[in-house]
């Protein structure tokens, strides 16, 4: 009616068109609003579960929850109980879709075309699957073969993975990016170790806020998130502990086969491992003066031992680094 007339329809006109009494129509509307609110309240934990997976992408958690709630309402409108699907299962698709749409539109400073955004999703899924199946960071050629996406498009997508963050974002309990840059600058100019200033961080924050100066800093993007740095260090320790459980010859073969010593290649640099280029079975066989089949048996025996260890199963949470 509003589209036809171009005016806001009154409640009485609405009731007349619906062939209901105005009082009954108000009751039905009120009941519908109550049902909608109850639906949102009952699904908030599910929305929060999905929204938490997309934090640190430049979008506040509150906005992600709001997008997920919109997905709940969209899914409720399209749900058909006659198809035999459970509502909880069906609604997950719409929650994830609504959140992903917001992330695709607003997570980056420059909007990415839809085609490239879909390619980014395919590349991320393929990279995660290959990392799990091969227990190493996949090469671009492997991803291209799995996704049928060109290498140039994969490289373009990798550049788009970077998201824009606020310079005021907290790095710790008392420090943000601006203050981090200030402390680094003071530490460099005065030749005083940076860690000595961390103990005075609250004082420096007070000086920065009370001075009234307009500080401008270019954030150092080469500095990774501190929790990831700590996790990489723990990963190194867990890897060494895992390898120490093998016999000497088995450990040597695994280290050479997967490149876990020397200077890091690009495939392992991401994980923070000091790796050298992986060697083939034939190359390792020449080093030990044995056949490559003998090396393959040693490798298979070592991998069976590693998979049976509890420590190996605990390494799976490092795949997202």
Q: Say yes or no: 33 and 88 in one domain.
A: yes
Q: Say yes or no: 90 and 59 in one domain.
A: yes
Structural domain range at position 148: 114-160
Work out how many domains the chain is built from and give that number: 4
* 193: nearest Cα among 205, 184, 204, 202: 184
Q: Say yes or no: 9 and 94 in one domain.
A: yes
Query: Which backbone phi and psi does 59 adopt, to 5 degrees?
Result: -125, 135
Q: Say yes or no: 72 and 119 in one domain.
A: no
Q: What is the largest CA-CA distance in the chain?
A: 94
Q: Say yes or no: 102 and 118 in one domain.
A: no
CATH code of residue 45: 1.20.120.1810
> What does pLDDT average to in each consecutive run of 10 residues of the chain (321 residues)?
68 76 80 87 90 81 91 90 85 90 75 74 86 83 87 80 56 49 42 41 40 47 65 78 84 83 42 62 89 91 78 66 60
* 154: nearest Cα among 179, 126, 174: 126
- Give pLDDT tens digits for 274-309: 456 788 888 888 888 999 899 999 999 888 887 776
CATH code of residue 248: 1.10.10.10
Q: DSSP label at 138? A: P
* 227: nearest Cα among 128, 107, 124, 321: 321
CATH code of residue 146: 1.10.10
What gap in Å lies between CA 195 and CA 220, rounded to an integer?
17
Q: Say yes or no: 155 and 177 in one domain.
A: no
What gap in Å lies between CA 133 and CA 258, rounded to an integer?
14
Does the model's pTM come out above 0.75? no
Indicate the Cα dihedral angle 290, 291, 292, 298, nearest 10°: -60
What gap in Å lies between CA 292 and CA 53, rounded to an integer?
44
What gap in Å lies between CA 146 and CA 129, rounded to an integer?
10
Q: What is the pLDDT of residue 47?
A: 92
* 136: nearest Cα among 308, 278, 309, 292: 278
| Residue where one domain finishes, among candidates 123, 141, 160 | 160
Q: Say yes or no: 8 and 24 in one domain.
A: yes
| Residue where one domain finishes, among candidates 87, 106, 125 | 106
- Give pLDDT tens digits for 21-67: 877 878 888 888 888 889 889 899 999 999 988 877 778 889 999 99
Q: Say yes or no: 101 and 146 in one domain.
A: no
């Amino acid at each position: 009616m509003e589209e036809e007339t171009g005016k806001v329809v009154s409640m009485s006109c609405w009731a007349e068109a619906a062939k209901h009494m105005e009082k009954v129509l108000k009751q039905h509307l009120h009941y519908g609003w109550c049902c909608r609110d109850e639906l949102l309240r009952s699904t908030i934990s599910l929305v929060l579960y999905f929204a938490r997976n997309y934090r640190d992408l430049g979008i506040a958690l509150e906005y992600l929850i709001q997008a997920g709630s919109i997905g709940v309402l969209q899914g409720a409108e399209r749900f058909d109980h006659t198809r035999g699907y459970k509502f909880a299962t069906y609604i997950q698709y719409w929650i994830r879709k609504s959140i992903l749409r917001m992330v695709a539109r607003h997570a980056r400073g420059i909007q990415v075309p839809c085609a490239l955004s879909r390619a980014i999703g395919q590349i991320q899924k393929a990279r995660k699957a290959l990392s799990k199946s091969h227990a190493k960071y996949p090469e671009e050629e492997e991803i291209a073969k799995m996704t049928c996406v060109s290498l140039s498009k994969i490289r373009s997508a990798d550049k788009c993975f970077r998201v824009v963050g606020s310079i005021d974002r907290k790095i710790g309990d008392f420090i943000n990016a601006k203050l981090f840059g200030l402390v680094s600058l003071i530490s460099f100019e005065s030749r005083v170790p940076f860690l000595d200033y961390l103990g005075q961080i609250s004082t420096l924050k007070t000086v920065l806020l009370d001075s009234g100066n307009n500080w401008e800093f270019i954030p150092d993007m080469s500095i990774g998130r501190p929790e990831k740095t700590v996790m990489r260090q723990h990963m190194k320790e867990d890897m060494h502990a895992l390898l120490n459980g093998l016999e000497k010859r088995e450990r040597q073969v695994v280290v050479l086969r997967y490149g876990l010593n020397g200077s890091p290649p690009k495939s392992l640099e991401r994980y923070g491992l000091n790796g050298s280029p992986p060697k083939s079975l034939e190359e390792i066989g020449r080093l030990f003066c044995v056949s490559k089949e003998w090396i393959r048996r040693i490798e298979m025996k070592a991998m069976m031992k590693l998979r049976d260890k509890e420590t190996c199963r605990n390494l799976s949470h490092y795949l997202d680094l």
